[in-house]
Amino acid sequence: AAGTVFQLVTALLGMDADALARRLTFDTPVLPPWLRFVELHGLRVGPAVVDVVIDKTFLAPVVYKA
């Protein structure tokens, strides 16, 4: 049951992690109308730990590589 929330967030954000490449990608994130932003803290991608904010108010995607 605890994994269900993670799967839902992963699906909504189109999130995919590649630990070997140390890359976290988001393919066309979709947030419900009532949710303006999502913050994820302490995500482990290979040896890296990242914090992510997805916010509807930004018009252009920003890509960071750990």
Average pLDDT over residues 15-33: 86
42, 47, 60, 50: which is closest to 24 by C-alpha? Answer: 50
pLDDT tens track for 32-62 = 889 888 888 998 888 888 898 888 877 555 6
Q: Are strands 15-18 and 23-26 parallel, antiparallel or unpaired?
A: antiparallel
pTM for the model: 0.68
Encoded tokens for 35: 């949710």
Helix-, strand-, coil-residue percentages of the chain, each rounded to 5: 20, 40, 45
C-alpha to C-alpha distances, 39 to 20, 21, 55, nearest whole angstrom:
24, 23, 9
pLDDT for the residue numbered 63 = 60
